[in-house]
A and B are shown apart, each in its own frame.
Chain A
Amino acid sequence: MSQETLRIQKISAHAGTVPGEGTQREFQVCKLIDTTTCIGCKACEVACMEWNDLPFGQTVFDNTYQTMPDTRWNYWNLIRFNEHETDDGTLMWLMRKDQCMHCADPGCLAACPSDGAIVQYTNGIVDFQQANCIGCGYCITGCPFDIPKMNPKTNRVFKCTLCADRVGEGLEPACIKACPTGCLHFGSKDDMKYLAEGRAKQLRDHSNFPKAGVYDPPGVGGTGVIYVLHDVTEPELYGGLPKNPRVPLTVKLWKGPLKWLGNVAMIGGLIGLFVHYLRFGPKSREEEFEKKHEGEQP
């Protein structure tokens, strides 16, 4: 991989062509998170802050092993912790590394009204360009995973970049590098899917997790971050991972049919009024005419 991986294939609110679209035979990059081998050590959280130079903020202790209740504009990577009692009474600690999922069909990008504030590289990474961000927060509405977070001081939105700067130089993201258990993997989407399915099969066949599977939600076109879950039928158990995430219907209606309809109506309205003026003219013309020519002989 080289700098070429950072060629752009989708641009938010962009009128015109996209420079990188279809110009490159590039594989999709993917992060694989095996929740069954995560020990919740938070090395990835620290590595994320270190590499991305994020300031250390206040953590919130709520009697669990979770650093804080939610990700923040300057805390992009959070291990969500849930205690879960299975049907046979076994207690499980569910650890899920939560961050941007890098959807193939990103709702944030669809909702964004600012040209070039959100881009998707040809390798699949969805990245925010804060210089172009206007702080409207539409991406927050568009995201089905509650990931984009507003910096209240600068009024710009931030999230995980999948370490696009590292990936562009042929390195794996910082979180992957820091993981001590090998629960995090990074590579092409195909390879990660293969690895994930293999691990899920192992869990089903040998570890008494008959519902184990891979989380790669099709509702958003698949994601650049995939999970192996003990129980793929109940992803909500893992800190509210949505079962069937989709770009919200109203966002799709707003950016699709409504936009089409609205544009046609606005342009049609303008043309209609102009034609009306040409056909019928102003209402008081006759009277003005009479007044002007008052007393004149015909």
Chain B
Amino acid sequence: MSAPPYRAHPAQAVPPGRILRYGFRERVTHWVAGLSYVYLLLTGLAFWSPWLFWLAIALGGGQISRILHPWVGLLFFAAVLQMYGLWASQMRFDDVDRAWFRSMRHYIRNEDEKMPPVGRYNAGQKLLFWGFFVCGILLFLSGLVLWFPEYIPWSLRWLRYIAVLVHASTALLTIGLFLIHVYMGVFAERGALDSVIYGDVTEDFAKRFHPAWYKELIGSAPRRK
């Protein structure tokens, strides 16, 4: 049985038995964000702890890391905004998500058949999206202050005082999100990593993790997304 084409991305052909989950734009945006985040994470950790300062040395030296970190941060923030444009409308929380949170225990135990019928994104993915969006904005704003601390006048020094704390705490929050995201995508949910590289997933994957989304694609006439 071959799946009908995914109408949102008519340009890309998928192998039989597979369903297109992420279009080219989505994949590119994801990896711009992902790779820039990894650079920000490594250099950020170097500035975070003396025990990890060698990361900055390995990445070209402390000065280079200090110069590039904010620029890569801008790139990351641009990708976050792009993701907002791509996905925000699909990330609204609904009753299914509330039910999902209530049965999260089953999700953690891999008892996915006990989960409510999830659409294109489950509640955890939505939480990740909004977490990165909010933290991205806070990191951007505090990062601007930390980029040019010498131009913040003495009378506005409280901006710097807030920025150091906000930048570090929000970065820590994103590290938590990032760890779970990478763990889910690479290790726990086999096929998820492929889907964000090649774009498609197996029907099993769609049926098992995103049944409502699968139903929507298969069961009804082509519709506008």
Give A residues with C-beta under 8 Å from B.
13-15, 111, 113-115, 132, 134-138, 140-141, 146, 149-150, 152, 155, 240, 248-251, 253-254, 258-259, 262-263, 265-266, 269-270, 273, 276-277, 280-285, 287-288, 291
Contacts and interface: CB of A to CB of B under 8 A. Distances in A.
A17 B174 CA distance: 32
A13 B149 CA distance: 19
Contacts of A138: 146, 149, 164
A113 B47 contact: yes
Contacts of A250: 161-162, 164-165
A114 B56 CA distance: 10
Contact of A254 (B110, B168, B179): B168
Q: Is the interface of B mostly helix, strand, loop or mixed?
A: helix
Contact of A284 (B108, B149, B204): B204
B168 A263 contact: no
A288 B109 contact: no
B110 A281 contact: yes
A287 B209 CA distance: 12
Interface in B68-113: 108-110, 112
Nearest to A280: B110
B175 interface: yes
B47 A284 contact: no
Interface centre among B51, B53, B150, B163 (most CB of A within 10 A): B150
Nearest to A70: B154
Interface in B184-221: 187-191, 204-205, 208-209
A137 B150 contact: yes
Given A113-B48, A262-B168, A270-B179, A137 B188 contact: no
Interface of B: 46-51, 53, 56, 61-63, 65-67, 108-110, 112, 146, 148-150, 154, 157, 160-165, 168-169, 172, 175-176, 179-180, 183, 187-191, 204-205, 208-209
A111 B164 CA distance: 10
Interface centre among A135, A152, A291 (most CB of B within 10 A): A135
Given A15-B53, A266-B172, A291-B204, 17 more contacts: A135-B63, A135-B67, A137-B146, A141-B164, A146-B157, A155-B63, A240-B154, A248-B161, A258-B165, A258-B172, A259-B49, A273-B179, A277-B187, A277-B188, A280-B110, A282-B187, A284-B204
Contacts of B172: 258, 262, 265-266
